[in-house]
Amino acid sequence: MTRVAVVSFACGHTRLCLAADAVLALEPPDAAVPHVGHLLALLPGERSGQRVLLLEGGARVRVDGPIKMEEVGGEDILPAPCAMPPRLPVLGYAGFGDGVMVLLDVPALLASAPHAEGGVT
Amino acid sequence: MSEGNAELRRLAERPEAAAAEAAQVPGVAMVLFRIGSRWCAVRAGDVREIALKGQVSRVPGAPPYVVGVALLRGRLVPVVQLETLLDAEARGEPPSTLPRMIVVSCGEDEVALVAEQAHGVVELVLEAGVAPAGMQAPFVAAELEWRGRMVAVLDPARLMEVVMAEAS
């Protein structure tokens, strides 16, 4: 059974995740790095435990904690509502506990970012 | 005294009159709820549940009236801020924990409507409804008067059409 390692994090109260192999490093928070809520047009809530993710290609994005390594398998995927089919950068949704985790597409996330040298930053 | 308590007192004091009144009026059971300053109603048979304080996950790229998705009974349900859809203007950041979610079904699809207050099931007479004047949204089937307030009767099928059209 295929299971994919992901790095999960938060944007306010919303749990998001990226494929773990696209995350090269976890760095200290840096206010100069764009917040994921800014990139996705999601208004962040309380910003606690922030870190910067160094992504493949050298791009950086700031996220809210807690940041965890998890695995997502087919049995975790929740069927999307008919009224809301996933659209990039959203790949789909996974259940964890009694909550929902939004699966993000890394290339689409980077494409939505204001590009500077080295990617998102 | 609350309206519900006053109504209970009235029923208790004059049960025969209330029963006779109910028998004369062929009403439709509807769930009544308040969205902002507006009162809305949906046929009780179209309401799957009334959920309390749901945790909502925001969805990137969703239309402004979609607050996000909620996990209800193992299913993902889009959560809609109907007030935003009616007014077509943003009302700022909605709270992540919501007072009520009225989960309306339309076939296999469901949509949860954010409501500040749920009144419960009441009998409304649809024939007495007037065409919507103030609320021009296509999913408002009629407007009725209930205790001096105008109540917008929602059509779940049309509502789902609007949500799906905007989301896709």
Which position has the higher pLDDT, A10 or A112?
A: A10
User: What residues in A contact B105, CB-CB < 8 Å?
Assistant: none
Residues A9-19 pLDDT 10s? 999 889 999 99
pTM, rounded to two decimals: 0.76
Q: How far apart are alpha carbons A99 and A111 in whole angstroms?
A: 28
Give, in degrees to the nearest 5, the angle at Cα A43 between B166 and A25.
115
Mean pLDDT of chain A: 86
CB distance B71–A100 less than 8 Å?
yes
Give the number of residues written for chain A: 121
> Tokens at residue A99, please?
């909550």
The whole-number pLDDT of residue B88 equals 44
In chain B, residues 107-126 whose CB comes closer than 8 Å to chain A: 108-111
| ipTM exceeding 0.85, yes/no | no
Which range, of A70-84, B80-94, B101-115, averages the lowest pLDDT?
B80-94
Q: What's the pLDDT at A116? A: 41
Residues in chain A with CB shorter than 8 Å from the CB of B70 are: 100
Higher-pLDDT residue of B86 and A56 is A56
Residue B167: its pLDDT value, please?
Answer: 65
CA distance to A23, A25, A28, A107, B124, per residue, from A61 (Å): 10, 11, 11, 13, 53
Domain chopping of chain B, boundaries: 26-167
Residue B90: which pLDDT band, with cuts at 50, 70 and 90?
very low
| Residue B81: both structure tokens together | 């801020």
Tokens 């925001």 locate to B58
Give the one of B59, B96, B164 whose C-beta lies nearest to A45's C-beta: B96
In the predicted structure, residue B47 carries a pLDDT above the cut 70: yes
- pLDDT surpassing 90 at residue A97: no
**Chain centroid offset of residue B148 CA:** 18
Cβ-defined contact of B69 to A45 (cutoff 8 Å): no
Q: How many helices (H) and strands (E) does chain B have?
A: 4, 10
**pLDDT band for position B129 (cuts 50, 70, 90):** low
The answer to whether the beta carbons of residues B54 and B115 sit under 8 Å apart is no
CA distance B50 to chain A (A): 18
Mean model confidence pLDDT for chain B = 79
Average pLDDT over residues A59-78: 92
Angle between helices B3-13 and B15-24 (to 10 degrees): 100
Give the per-residue SS3 of B109-130: EEEEEEECEEEEEEEECHHHCE
Domain B26-167 falls under CATH 3.40.309.10: no
CA-to-CA separations, A90 to A28, A41, A103, A112, in angstroms, rounded: 26, 13, 6, 12
Q: In this predicted structure, what is the pLDDT of residue B94?
A: 55
